[in-house]
Amino acid sequence: MIYWLLIDGGQKKSKGLLKTLLHWLPYLAVLGFFVYWRMIIYPDPELGYGMANYPHLFTDFVNAPLDTLVNFLQAIYSDFRFLMVGIWTDRIIPTAIEIKSVTFWLSVIIGVGFTLAMHYFFQDENRVEGLSLKAKEIFRNVTLSLAIILFGLFPIWSSLRQITKGKWSDRFDIPVMFGVAILLITILFIIVKSSKTRNIILIIITGLSISYQIQMANEYRKDFNRQKTFYTQLAWRIPSLEPGTTIFSPGIPTGKEADYSISMGLNLLFNSETINTELDYWFTTPRYYNPAEMAVDPSIEITDGLRIFNFKGTASKVVNVFMSDGGCVWVIDHYYAIYPEKINNFYYYGELTNQDVIGETGPLTNNLSEIIDTSPQNTWCYFFEKGDLFQSKGKYEEAIDYYEQAVSKNLVPLEAIEFLPFIKSYAYSGLIDEAVVLTAESFRRETLSYQPICQLWHDVLEENPSIPLSSVETVYNSQNCSTMEP
């Protein structure tokens, strides 16, 4: 752009090019020093410094030039296609529309309304109909836009990464947004000659883009609310946790977070003092460790970390948690583990959980409580989590007390399986009639709760032969519990 400004101002091409290079020289010098430092000075294979996001493209070109060139061109095509086509069709014209969502319709109204208002206030009444770009302007626009796209993405490509690979990789399109916008507008001017038609197209695109941004903001709002729910319920269920414990889960509780992000949240939640680089807690999933293997061998080491932070633990100190879409957070024991969820190796999650590393009490405040409210609340999940905590410790009277408090406040389980800790508490307290009533209510609400609660009754009767089978046969029978012998 500097070069074009100079030659349009009367400079000769050779002189304009020289002045452009002189303007760029300080920046090129800084860039050259950075490239040398990043590739030669900073990397340390022994300590692991600088090896992530290393520009492997250059070394790969030396080792396998043809294969590297093919892969590089494929990456360029894939990302360019996404920027010019996919980013619009997938986002502005989604495959599914939440027709019942108030936010969706509000976002459409705001997007289209705002764009029409801007068009009305900023339109040029004296504009010339059929305004078009000259060949020189088209050439410059295309050159500039492609330069922005290529130079903006080359640092990403040099580390063998790209926009279209990886859950969070679409952030890499931020440096090239202006280039994409210039290129699209230029193409629109070439194809559509009518100014009115172009304006209509731009109004629709801009309006839908604004609408999409509002919808995405709402998605992040809902995701953050789910994060708050997760940490709050975890604080109720796990007031304190032994250092060196791994929180394991079938999946990440929220869609906008990564496992290392949850890990940092856990260290804030279970720590009220300064957090060191040697972390006390870590969150992980079956992506990194197999639950079946850990259940068989508790000595398996769990090592992970991020940048300056490190964690070391073993499979003997694992607490498994699960956050359903419509219920509370569970600490998975061997009853929850046979709940018919479509999760691979779910049975082993119950075998892995070490209830002994969970403390019954903890500090009233922690590093996370400054951001998220972890204090007691009058919600079903609060009483469920506290009841589940105490039944896991064998303190059935305390668990029953929490259930009765919930009932007095007209709170009911969100899912049928959430009766389980209170059925267990009543049953092991000798209050069989009350346990049968809760079992019947759970079975009435959802058949998915049959298997874990039937297993519970099987264990209760096996451990307490004095309990007459006739006292529980209305719920514990061959019809409800077909996989067991009542």
Identify the sign of the CA torsion 143, 149, 154, 155: positive
Give the mean pLDDT per block of 10 residues along the chain (486 residues). Answer: 72 80 87 82 67 75 86 89 82 69 76 74 60 79 89 86 80 87 89 81 80 83 91 92 91 84 89 82 89 87 86 91 88 85 73 88 82 89 94 92 93 92 92 90 87 88 86 84 64
Q: Is the dihedral of CA 411, 415, 420, 421 positive or negative?
A: negative
Rounded CA separation 350/365 (Å): 30
| Spacing of C-alpha 286 from chain mean position | 16
| One-letter amino acid for residue 135 of the chain | A
- Which residues on neighbouring strands pair with residue 283, listed in sequence order? 247
| Distance of alpha carbon 199 from alpha carbon 157, whole angstroms | 35
pTM of structure:
0.80
Contact 232, 373 (CB under 8 A): yes
pLDDT at 52: 67
Euclidean distance between CA atoms 486 and 376, whole angstroms: 40
**CATH number assigned to the domain covering 376-486:** 1.25.40.10
> Quick one: pLDDT at residue 5?
74
Residue type, 426: Y
Residue-level pLDDT at 2: 74
Q: 362 has which bridge partners?
A: none
Predicted pLDDT at 401: 93
Closest CA to 426 of 447, 441, 415: 441
- Dihedral over Cα of 92, 93, 97, 99: its sign: positive
Contact predicate 450/486, CB 8 Å: no
β-strand pairing of 329-331 with 301-306:
unpaired
> Can you state the angle between helices 135-158 and 56-63, rounded to 10 degrees?
90
Q: What does the alpha-carbon distance between residue 168 and residue 165 come to, in Å, rounded to a whole number?
A: 8
pLDDT of residue 235: 92
Report whether 206 contacts 92 (CB < 8 A).
Answer: no
Please tell me the distance from the alpha carbon of residue 420 to that of residue 422, in angstroms, as a whole number.
5
Give one DSSP letter per residue of 343-383, joined into a string. -TTHHHHHHHB-GGGEES---S--SSTTTS--S--SSHHHH
Q: Which of 35, 72, 33 is nearest to 50 (CA)?
A: 35
**CA angle at 91 for the pair 168 and 190, rounded to the nearest 5°:** 115
pLDDT for 337 equals 85
Alpha carbon distance, N-terminus to C-terminus of the chain: 83
- Give the number of other CB atoms < 10 A from CB of residue 150: 14
Q: How far is CA 260 from the centre of its chain?
A: 10
- What is the amino acid identity at position 480? N
Residue 182 backbone phi and psi in degrees, to 5: -65, -45
- Contacts by 196-201, CB closer than 8 A, 24 or more apart: 196/129, 199/119, 199/123
Q: Delimit the domains of the chain by residue range.
A: 1-51, 61-217, 238-375, 376-486
Strands 318-323 and 329-331: antiparallel
Residue labelled with tokens 């019809």: 479
Query: Do residues 421 and 401 lie in contact, with contact meaning Cβ atoms separated by under 8 Å?
Result: no
In whole angstroms, what is the distance from residue 409 CA to residue 433 CA? 22
Backbone phi, psi, residue 3, to 5° = -60, -45
Which residues, at least 6 apart from 331, have a Cβ–Cβ distance to it below 8 Å?
A: 237, 238, 319, 320, 321, 353, 355, 358, 388, 392
Position of tokens 């209305």? Answer: 474
Q: How far apart are CA 37 and CA 27, in angstroms?
A: 15
Alpha-carbon distances, residue 291 vs 246, 317, 318, 319 (angstroms): 12, 13, 10, 11
Q: Which of 285, 281, 284 is nearest to 366 (CA)?
A: 281
Helix (H, G, I), strand (E, B) or coil at 247: strand
Query: CA of 186: how far to CAs of 124, 189, 204, in Å?
Result: 20, 5, 17
